[in-house]
Structure 1
Amino acid sequence: MAQAVSIKEVARLAGVSVGTVSNVLNRPEKVAEETRDRVRAVIERIGFVRSESARQLRAGSSRMLAMLVLDMANPFFAAVAKGAEAAAREAGLGVMLGNSAGSTAEEDYYLSLFAEQRVRGVLVTPADTTGRGLGDIERRSIPYVHVDREVPAAEGCSVSVDDVMGGTLAVRHLLDAGHRRVTYISGPMRLPQCRDRHAGALAALREAGLPDDALHLVESARLDVASGIDAGARLLGLPERPTAVFCANDLLALGVLQAMYAAGVRVPRDLAIVGYDDIEFAAAAVVPLTSVRRPAQRMGRAAAELLIEETAEDADDHRHRSVVLQPELVVRGSTLRTSQSG
């Protein structure tokens, strides 16, 4: 393997100092045009590539943001990352992406790695709801923003969606359609998002004058299609099936839809289904899925903009903010608009 060309070699061939080469790379406006052209010609001729890690050590900052998502297999988080990447690119920055897959061990690994890489800041949807995993980047004074998780502004910046309202919208829609046997299919209830959607569902029941136990809870270990299929099979075994289900995300809902289709249960006539997130696949399902839409790309962009603001050179006047976006119910073919349940 050929040895990497050093900045000293560029300086020698261009007949300038190492400091002049550094200025051409980092502060070109300080170098005379003729000298800049000569140094750049040498760089192009010998294929010099500057060391970003060395530049970071000298400048004390990086051009890379890091992002740690809860589940990259979920298209919702892919859309969040896309929004963050767009904001970063506009600021001349890049995004390094990690996937905890809901594992606190994976979260610890990536956060430690991001700290070692001296990233500019971190966008994170924590798998560890205690926040202990953030200790490594806190000790190194690396700024971070919570994504899809609301925290008090005193603790840092965050961008989230009002999931309590989202749960209310979903179950209110089902109750308005006449359903009284409703099941909430949740992911792990240790996750605040799942708990908030459940709280919103209960709020809709109380609004309609119904008791909390009118909502049946089925908790799944994961928020994926396979868990939805399993939850659907559990529903099919109940002595009295629900007439409607509200799922904590669209992947669970699509799994339930598959289970019903395989068992010959008609959606929406025999079972109405509401999902959450409104991922692209929701509208393309064999029965288009009613879903609570969360503005994923806007969430990612807003979080990245907060982090960029906090890490700017003139960030002394930065104040932590908690941004809460609003959900929207998108009604499609998987729910009933008229009362057909009892």
Structure 2
Amino acid sequence: MQTKYNTVKQAIKSQILAGAYEPNQKISSENELMKEFSVSRHTVRVAIGELVNEGWLYREQGSGTFCTDRSIQESRNQQSKKSIAIITTYISDYIFPSIIRGAESYLSENGYQVNLYSTNNDIENEKRILESILSQQTDGVIIEPTKSAFTNPNINYYFNLERTNIPYIMINAFYDELEPICLIMDDEKGGFIQTEHLIKHGHKNIVGFFKTDDIQGIKRMKGYIKAHRKYQIPINPKNIISYYSEEKRTKPKDELEILLSAQTDVPTGLVCYNDELALLLLDVLRDKNLKVPNDISIVGYDDSFLAEASEVKLTTVKHPKNKMGEAAAELIVDLVQKNNQNNKDNKEYETIIYDPELVIRKSTKKISDDET
């Protein structure tokens, strides 16, 4: 259990990192802090004392306690800094190792130490990681946003990155309110070509599964809807299955079982948020004694190693993976070098959007009119 003074200390530190106090701004008085945290004056003084000793605050006799300008401290150590932080939603599974390898390879060749972080797509984890990065000497940050479909409660930490002149870019998704430089796929088009492929194969009863706490899922759902509209195929509302990250191993499977148990309108095609989900749904189809693609067709997304690891080789949308990671590394290094050289040129850095490509394998087939 955390001591009272440490609770006060960490809260003040978090306020500094979130930009609540600007450099050289006076912080709350001892009396105000005592009231805010319901602690004694001694507890407040111990917390403040440690923050002063660690360089977060400084005292002026007769005036109060102030927030240190850490950018001055960091500039003194600029020559020894050569560190890039990479934050992803996940690190060790699915397509993320490939993205990270692409970035790490380029960064290490250019003399940068790489610090890896995983949020597990959790906002509180993202907050702790951003605080850690802002507390250290970091040259730049490559970030995969957490729950990017929602307004980000950690936005002040990104403002503080900007305020302390630490460049950052985003991959796979972005926080729209920040308008950052990012590297993303055209996910709307990706969802469209997934669905169009099935429609052109004669499918009309197509179920789409979309993870909607990330912007990628929202865009892919939009593509799914656009494909139906283009080919004038009505959408059954029951055929759009949305779920959050915490539900990814349960809700899609449960919803598919319900749809497959119906006496009528049994789907003939499935559009999946990613290959990982496609493999989970293959388990449901196997339990129902349904064959892919003879009984039902399925399309994945990302062209991960899973697409060829299953008994049925998945038709899927290709993700740039290594290429995206390397391009992100090149971009962040360019931004860091421009920053370190105080380069004031007006070079514009634009978002990179990768065009999706369908990789056709064995998980889809054409069906005749009497099968629909």
Q: TM-score, normalised by structure 2?
A: 0.71
Residue pair 1:218, 1:231 contacting (<8 A) in 2 also: yes
1:138 to 1:91, Cα distance in 2 relative to 1, 3 A: farther
1:154 to 1:281, Cα distance in 2 relative to 1, 3 A: closer
Q: Deviations over 1:48-72 (max 9, x none)?
A: xxxxxx9985226621111111223
Q: Tell me which amino acid in the other structure corresponds to 2:229.
A: R
- Indicate which of 290, 294, 303 corresponds to 2:319: 294
Q: Equivalent residue for 1:217?
A: 240
Residue pair 1:146, 1:158 contacting (<8 A) in 2 also: yes
How far apart are residue 97 of structure 1 and its match? 1.0
Contiguous gaps of at least 5 residues in structure 1: 1-53
How far apart are residue 236 of structure 1 and its match? 2.7
Q: Structure 1 CA distance, aligned partners of 2:348 and 2:293?
A: 48
1:227 to 1:286, Cα distance in 2 relative to 1, 3 A: farther
Residue pair 1:181, 1:214 contacting (<8 A) in 2 also: no
Residue pair 2:189, 2:356 contacting (<8 A) in 1 also: yes
How far apart are residue 209 of structure 1 and its match? 1.8
Residue pair 1:168, 1:200 contacting (<8 A) in 2 also: yes
Q: Equivalent residue for 1:81?
A: 100
Q: Structure 2 CA distance, aligned partners of 1:100 and 1:131?
A: 14
Residue pair 2:139, 2:167 contacting (<8 A) in 1 also: yes
How far apart are residue 212 of structure 1 and its match? 4.2
Q: Tell me which amino acid in the other structure corresponds to 2:87.
A: L
- Indicate which of 49, 67, 81 corresponds to 2:86: 67
Between stretches 93-102 and 216-225, larger displacement belongs to: 216-225
Residue pair 2:84, 2:140 contacting (<8 A) in 1 also: yes
How far apart are residue 151 of structure 1 and its match? 6.5
How far apart are residue 198 of structure 1 and its match? 0.7
Q: Structure 2 CA distance, aligned partners of 1:283 and 1:56?
A: 49
- Indicate which of 90, 93, 110 corresponds to 1:91: 110
Q: Check if 1:117 corresponds to 2:136.
A: yes
Give the aligned CA root-mean-square deviation in angstroms.
2.5
Q: Equivalent residue for 2:186?
A: 162
Q: Structure 2 CA distance, aligned partners of 1:56 and 1:301?
A: 28
Q: Structure 1 CA distance, aligned partners of 2:302 and 2:92?
A: 14
Q: Equivalent residue for 2:197?
A: 173
How far apart are residue 76 of structure 1 and its match? 1.4
Q: TM-score, normalised by structure 1?
A: 0.77
Q: Secondary structure at the match of 1:316?
A: coil
Q: Secondary structure at the match of 1:149?
A: coil
Residue pair 1:65, 1:122 contacting (<8 A) in 2 also: yes
1:231 to 1:64, Cα distance in 2 relative to 1, 3 A: farther
Q: Secondary structure at the match of 1:173?
A: helix
Residue pair 1:225, 1:255 contacting (<8 A) in 2 also: yes
Q: Structure 1 CA distance, aligned partners of 2:155 and 2:100?
A: 20
Q: Structure 1 CA distance, aligned partners of 2:79 and 2:314?
A: 49
Q: Equivalent residue for 2:294?
A: 269
Q: Check if 1:327 corresponds to 2:356.
A: yes
Residue pair 1:153, 1:320 contacting (<8 A) in 2 also: no
Q: Deviations over 1:168-223 (max 9, x none)?
A: 11000000110000000111x23210010011111111221223447811122338
Q: Equivalent residue for 1:250?
A: 275
Q: Tell me which amino acid in the other structure corresponds to 1:202.
A: I
- Indicate which of 330, 341, 344 corresponds to 1:316: 344
Q: Structure 2 CA distance, aligned partners of 1:299 and 1:224?
A: 25
Q: Tell me which amino acid in the other structure corresponds to 1:220.
A: Y
Contiguous gaps of at least 5 residues in structure 2: 1-72
Q: Equivalent residue for 1:199?
A: 222
Q: Equivalent residue for 1:135?
A: 156
Q: Equivalent residue for 1:237?
A: 261
Residue pair 2:302, 2:317 contacting (<8 A) in 1 also: yes
Q: Structure 1 CA distance, aligned partners of 2:78 and 2:183?
A: 29
How far apart are residue 332 of structure 1 and its match? 1.1
